[in-house]
Structure 1
Amino acid sequence: MLIIMAFIIAFFFAMNIGASGGAAAMGVAYASGSIKNKNIALILCGICIVIGSVVAGDKVTKTISSGIAPQTIFTVEVVVVTLIAATLSLFIANMLGIPLSTSEITIGAVAGVGIAFEMLYIQQLVLIIMFWFIVPVVAFGISYVTGKGILSFTKRRPHIEAKWKKPLTFLVILAACAEAFSAGMKNVANAIGPLVSANLLGMQDAALYGGLFVALGAFLLGRKVLETNGKKITSFTLLEGIAISTTSAALVITGALYGLPLPITQITTSSIIGIGSAKNGAAVLKKGIVVQMLKVWFAAPFLSMVIAYVLVKVFIQSDFYAVAIVVAVFLATIGLISLVQSIRQERRSIHENGGGI
């Protein structure tokens, strides 16, 4: 029964991965008008994801399955816990329409399990987290500089895109397909890595089945994220679309070849924000959707880590004292946040009304 549950949760997680990371990969092609139909964008995305997973998804799968915590701790029960923690975090983000990195929440869940068992490869985890911070900044920088170059070029040749529209449209779609391919290389591992850890699936079968469910999720659940990445952050031209997708695909594919589960959603979104900043200055960084994404990106790995830790302590180790501490910390945090908000509201009231209580 637990084995069946592990597969159900893993494939449901894979579908949510498709909705988040997969759909984000096609956001540029959709926003630039290269692909006007959402269904076509998501179908094309799904095909490229499956190819990426089957052809080159093994190195990141190995990292997820045995590079963060010892493979020996991943029994079927632990796999179920890991997948539940990651799936819940991602499902919440998808319902909010926020493009979220599945790598971050999966690594967070695996780290939570490792902490619960006091068996964690801290050096490898720290290395991965360092790249989570560095690579999106690099993507932003590359896109910002490229965006400035494109602006300068199009000012001198304002009719270049109209003249070369068909070739540029093809290049945008090709770059988006490369980005979806890179998503398949590393995103599918987030769902099926735990199954491989418990020897429930071989590497090739896991890549194929995982890729198919990620593709299905992109088509069925990916419309909100496609709209967020494609329309709500900023608008861009064909040349800018090529720059964004090429930058994201190159960085993610390079990382995947070294087994690094880089956050493709953050990288793509950072590239989009870089282009937006090149055109509109810092105003794009103040948009509500950008601020909301930054908050979710920061909180999600910790959320999945805490969920995984608590589930292990309750259902596997029956350590309710540790759970009580986690609950106490959670309640204290909520209380402090509420207190800070009350103080700010009171100060605002004093400032507006000119008096105290």
Structure 2
Amino acid sequence: MFELLLLAVGIVVALFVGFNIGGATTGPAFGPAVGAGAISKTGAAALMSAFFLSGGWTIGRQVVDTLGNDLVTDPGVFTIESSIVVLFFIGGALFVGNYYGVPASTSMTAVGAIAGLGVATDALNWAVMGEIAVWWIVAPIVGFWVSGMVGRYFYTRINRWVAITTTPGPLVEIDRTGAVPRPTPGPNTTRRELTGAVIVVGIGCLMAFSSGTSNIANAIAPLVGAGVDIDLMILLGCAAVAVGAFTIARRTLDTLGNDITELPLTAAIVVAIISSTIVVGLSAIGIPASFVIIATTSIVGLGWGRATRTSTIPEVVRGEQETNVSVGALAAEQPGEKAPPIGEEDPADIPGAADLFDPTTTGRVIIMQNVVPIISTVGAYVAFTALFRFVW
């Protein structure tokens, strides 16, 4: 009876972690689509739930196996009791990040807590931990430079291709004249606008899938390592994510949807594609990747690439036929503008560069994103060092 009670407590804690994952990841995935009016909050939550489940049920198993079995040399250290403690530190550390308004990495936090258990019990697989750590360094660098090159050389062309020109009225309406209601374009919706909306929603689905491949392990791996059925835990974990997507995620959808000017729609699409591709690739080889960290460095890279790009474009400004401007200084990158050549000006002298690449804000975010996993690692290590031999 006591063991069943402990199992129930462990599952409740895992569901709480999954609930917070759903609330934290739905906004980044579908905020641009909601902000553009391409989908409702309810529709975003439904798609998040479905694609997170598909990612967790397929590729996500590889990451669950890494965290629940490969990361420790003795899977026996995972008991229901120790799993509860590990999940407690994962949830507690993530709460600290949320409190300070910094999106912390659930993957790094989860790996840190499990590593703390492994070190305390002398069961950490240092080879696997080293491989994960190497990829944690390499992946954000790849995201930064790929995004930087896109921002410096291709962003304007991409913006011209995917930009959505909003027309009055709803983007999509529901036709209920037939036996089965079906979505139809709004009365003023253009083909370009509809195509752009489909692209934005599709990117959100890709991000939801990539989140499932990596993040499902963060909620269930300790219990799976303790012997709980993986299929059952994936279904329960994804159900908890769905509850978070339909409830607390509405606030993050509001924030990201209304503040979309902070990250232009085209930039959001570029960052999402690059980050999701890297995360899915790492998840396929069993590496718990941090979408938050990769996306953050990708945003910084894209901003750096755009801020360091300058151009000379023909323009009639107060009688002058040619004016030197920077891409970052353009208040709105219109779909019809031409991609200008690369210039050589000093980035410090470029108007608008500070808005695209703020070292102070970037440093604060990166520091907090590293502090949160450290809290879970050190906390778990201290707890298991002090209590493991007496309790288990």
Equivalent position SS for 1:5: helix
Q: Does 1:186 align with 2:214?
A: yes
2: CA distance, partners of 1:161 / 1:22: 22
2: CA distance, partners of 1:5 / 1:314: 22
Q: Give the Å deviation of 1:224.
A: 5.2
- Residue 336 of structure 1 corresponds to none
TM-score, normalised via structure 1 length: 0.79
Letter in 2 for 1:79: S
Q: Does 1:108 align with 2:112?
A: yes
1: CA distance, partners of 2:40 / 2:163: 25
Deviation per residue, 1:198-232 (Å, 9 max, x gap): 012x2222211111112222332334555666638
Change (3 A) 1:113 1:103: same
Q: Give the Å deviation of 1:57.
A: 1.6
Of 146, 150, 158 in structure 2, the residue corresponding to residue 142 of structure 1 is 146
Q: Which moved more, 1:271-280 or 1:306-315?
A: 271-280
Letter in 2 for 1:48: F
Of 257, 278, 296 in structure 1, the residue corresponding to residue 368 of structure 2 is 296
- Residue 164 of structure 1 corresponds to 192
Q: Give the Å deviation of 1:62.
A: 0.2
1: CA distance, partners of 2:385 / 2:29: 37
CA RMSD of aligned residues (A): 2.7
Letter in 1 for 2:13: I
Equivalent position SS for 1:164: helix
Q: Output aligned runs, 1:1-357, within 5 Å.
A: 1-30=5-34, 33=36, 35=38, 37-69=40-72, 70-153=74-157, 161-162=164-165, 164-200=192-228, 202-223=229-250, 225-226=252-253, 231=259, 234-237=262-265, 239-277=266-304, 278=306, 279=328, 280-281=352-353, 283-286=355-358, 289-318=361-390
Letter in 1 for 2:71: I
Q: Give the Å deviation of 1:245.
A: 1.6
Q: Give the Å deviation of 1:97.
A: 3.1
Bigger radius of gyration among the two:
2
Q: Give the Å deviation of 1:160.
A: 6.3
Q: Give the Å deviation of 1:293.
A: 1.9
Structure with the larger helix share: 1
Equivalent position SS for 1:311: helix
1: CA distance, partners of 2:292 / 2:253: 11
Aligned residues: 315
1: CA distance, partners of 2:81 / 2:158: 57
Q: Give the Å deviation of 1:158.
A: 9.2
Deviation per residue, 1:93-115 (Å, 9 max, x gap): 22333212110000000000011
Change (3 A) 1:55 1:151: closer
2: CA distance, partners of 1:153 / 1:234: 20
2: CA distance, partners of 1:2 / 1:245: 39
Deviation per residue, 1:178-217 (Å, 9 max, x gap): 11111111101111111110012x2222211111112222
Change (3 A) 1:160 1:26: closer
Change (3 A) 1:154 1:315: closer
Letter in 2 for 1:93: G
Q: Give the Å deviation of 1:15.
A: 1.0
2: CA distance, partners of 1:298 / 1:285: 20
- Residue 332 of structure 1 corresponds to none
1: CA distance, partners of 2:227 / 2:158: 54
TM-score, normalised via structure 2 length: 0.73
The answer to whether the Cα contact below 8 Å between 1:185 and 1:256 also exists between their aligned partners in 2 is yes
Identity of matched residues, %: 28
1: CA distance, partners of 2:118 / 2:53: 30
Equivalent position SS for 1:317: helix
The answer to whether the Cα contact below 8 Å between 2:96 and 2:372 also exists between their aligned partners in 1 is no
2: CA distance, partners of 1:224 / 1:67: 37
